[in-house]
Amino acid sequence: MVETDYYELLGVSRDADGGTIKSAYRKLAMKFHPDRNPGDAEAERRFKECAEAYDCLKDPQKRAAYDRYGKAAFQNGGGGGGRQQGFGDFSDIFDNIFSEFMGGAAGGGRRQQRSRAVRGGDLRYDMELTLEEAFFGAEKTIEIDVAATCDACQGRGAAPDAVVEACGTCGGMGQVRVQQGMFVIERACPQCHGAGRVTSKVCEECLGAGRVDKEKSMRVKIPAGVDHGTRIRMSGEGEAGARGGPAGDLYIFVHLLPHEIFERQGTNLHVSVPVCFTDAALGGVIEVPSIEGEMVDLKIPSGTQSGKEFRRRGQGMPSLNGSGRGDLVVTVEVETPTRLSKRQKELLEEFRSLDEEVRSSPRSANFFTKIRDKWDELAG
């Protein structure tokens, strides 16, 4: 008998991410849901197969074991010698999968089932910002795919003319108890699938889930001073809750784009500025760029060496908590001229002859003195 591949069942590639797998499962679950295909044994079989596949692939550990050993990873003694958690029977899979499809855990304990309201899932959005946007703050419009409350049924999952009543099998609890040997196990009610209620006709828009996938547009205010990895929480902007539960939250993760001029380190900004060798030798005032888009003056002393750092206090990034700004750290790179006029060459030749007497470059003189002394030591 040929083993059915879970990825083929869901119609996804083997390198598909979790969101793609979840989206593919939801479409198939809606298509083959028993409430939508009453009395159709083939649809029920397909629904169970998809549920089993999703239960495996949504869990990173189970997925890794399946990729390596196939279904043998979940059989007693199967897999790579380590102990793996099996699927159990289909009722366990259905409880877990259907609860996620409905927006929460169906088997999460009696207290949760009595309330039946399940909080919606949290969402993540990765936002790219320029350094200037992080400095000044910004307002951005984002588009997200979210499970929102179904407008057609207002989240009830039932058609407008349907009769909704407490489930007779579980008495509205959403759970039933099953005796297995010495243990009593609570499972999602097979009649209402953990909802605690049944309806004579499900909503055609959401197929009884009470939620539908929508594209949502919103404006997000980014505060000044955000850094790479900053997390912004937007309460109640996540997925809609199931069975009247509160909505989840939206978490925005900031990613700063590389800048052509500045490098950010915390609240400090670093910039390298080329300086002609005459300014470095004689000292003076040079212009350096600032994040505000202006040039500011920086005084450098005579004899400034390449790689020397200068700091302008309070010219860096603002603190996210509003406690001032960091510094602008300027690294000087002394530039050697590449095109000299005849007169310039004459002056430099004169300078070189005078430098042999004055020794105005002690570092280079000391360096070569050390080299000669070392060679003399080796020769002796």
Q: Is position 50 annotated in a ligand binding site?
A: no
Residues with Cβ within 8 Å of residue 159, at least 6 apart in sequence: 153, 199, 201, 202, 203, 204
Q: How far apart are CA 337 and CA 243, in angstroms?
A: 75
Burial classification of residue 278, based on how many CB atoms lie within 10 Å of its CB (0-12 exposed, 13-18 middle, 19 or more buried): exposed
Select from 23, 99, 30, 21 the least CA-distant residue to 56. Answer: 21
Q: Is position 192 annotated in a ligand binding site?
A: yes
| Cα–Cα separations (whole angstroms), residue 297 to 72, 274, 325, 365 | 71, 14, 19, 33
Q: Is position 206 annotated in a ligand binding site?
A: yes
Q: Is position 56 annotated in a ligand binding site?
A: no
C-alpha 167 chain-centroid distance = 40
Amino acid at 1: M
Q: Angle of helix 60-69 relative to helix 41-57, nearest 10 degrees?
A: 100
Select from 52, 175, 160 the least CA-distant residue to 105. Answer: 175
Q: Is position 203 annotated in a ligand binding site?
A: yes
| CB atoms inside a 10 Å sphere around CB 93 | 18
| Cα–Cα separations (whole angstroms), residue 285 to 110, 292, 297 | 75, 20, 6
Residues in the chain, total: 380
Q: Which residues are annotated as a binding site?
A: 150, 153, 167, 170, 189, 192, 203, 206
Q: Which residues are annotated as a binding site for Zn(2+)?
A: 150, 153, 167, 170, 189, 192, 203, 206
